[in-house]
Amino acid sequence: MTHSIIGVGALGKALTSQFVRFKIPVQITRNSDITALRFMAREMGPCVHAVSVPEALQSDLVFLAIPFDAVATVVGAASSWNGRVVVDCTNAIDLASFTPRALGEQTSSELVESLVQGARLVKAFNTLPAATLAQPAAAAGGHRVLFVSGNVGSAKEEVAQLATAFGFAPIDLGNLSAGGRWRQLGVALMGHNFIRLNSADR
Ligand SMILES: NC(=O)c1ccc[n+]([C@@H]2O[C@H](COP(=O)([O-])OP(=O)(O)OC[C@H]3O[C@@H](n4cnc5c(N)ncnc54)[C@H](OP(=O)(O)O)[C@@H]3O)[C@@H](O)[C@H]2O)c1
């Protein structure tokens, strides 16, 4: 199983640090300055590899940790998806006003899904602030909750398994339409740091 993170800003670095913590190989890429990217990969650890965007797009699990406005251009460079998993970590925000983008009836993840036809899209890793996402997920007497939504159960399961390996407690919010609405900016689940207490398992 190969993993790539496209975008190594605040969110991409936080995600990468989870791979590093559990020594799971991961490829990282960014828009500019490949030399700095290679340096960053070396600094982060031996399981982190700097690659080009086209190489990153070929992984089994491709994480989009880029601004929402860059998604169409980035995923448009993939020749085919062949059922591979794309994890949409973006938030559709108008950065100038920090308000949700007006997308009509569609959720942002449904829009992203329409851009990656042939892939299995999962929305995850977008509700926690990067600084929280980077912390050990097994914490405070339990496991940090990670919300997962998507229209394909097998893909959600693959992402949930990885999240569990990182120490998170994944919670399935349903499909992209229903799940997406729960996790938008200003809505119930966004930004909250929930812990599933170990006692909840008893
Ligand atoms: N920051 C958070 O706490 C947080 C939390 C939840 C969700 N999110 C979401 O995660 C996404 C990333 O946020 P961020 O805060 O990490 O942003 P950021 O710090 O600005 O980083 C964005 C990254 O995306 C890369 N990028 C931009 N356009 C690209 C392109 N065309 N091809 C390849 N890479 C490209 C940038 O490359 P360069 O480095 O070369 O410029 C940079 O590494 C956003 O959609 C945001 O809403 C962020």
Element (H, E) at 195: strand 195-197
pLDDT in the model for residue 56 = 98
* 131's tokens: 């600084």
Q: Residue 161 Cα, ligand 1 centroid: separation in angstroms?
A: 24
- Is the distance from the beta carbon of residue 15 to the nearest atom of ligand 1 less than 6 Å? no
Res 187 pLDDT > 70: no
End-to-end CA gap in the chain: 32
**Reduced to 3 states, what is the DSSP secondary structure of residue 90?**
coil
pLDDT tens per residue, range 135-144? 999 987 899 9
Nearest to 87 by CA among 11, 167, 185: 11
Closest ligand 1 atom, residue 93 Cα = 47
- Is the distance from the beta carbon of residue 12 to the nearest atom of ligand 1 less than 6 Å? yes
The rounded distance, in Å, linking the Cα atoms of 94 and 139 is: 33
Closest ligand 1 atom, residue 68 Cα = 45
Q: Residue 13 Cα, ligand 1 centroid: separation in angstroms?
A: 10
- Is the distance from the beta carbon of residue 64 to the nearest atom of ligand 1 less than 6 Å? no
pLDDT in the model for residue 185 = 64
Which residues lie across from 169 on neighbouring strands? 145
Res 107 pLDDT > 60: yes
pLDDT in the model for residue 141 = 87
Res 112 pLDDT > 80: yes
- Is the distance from the beta carbon of residue 114 to the nearest atom of ligand 1 less than 6 Å? no
Res 198 pLDDT > 60: yes
Beta strand extents in 57-188 (DSSP E only): 61-64, 85-88, 93-94, 99-100, 120-124, 138-139, 142-150, 169-172
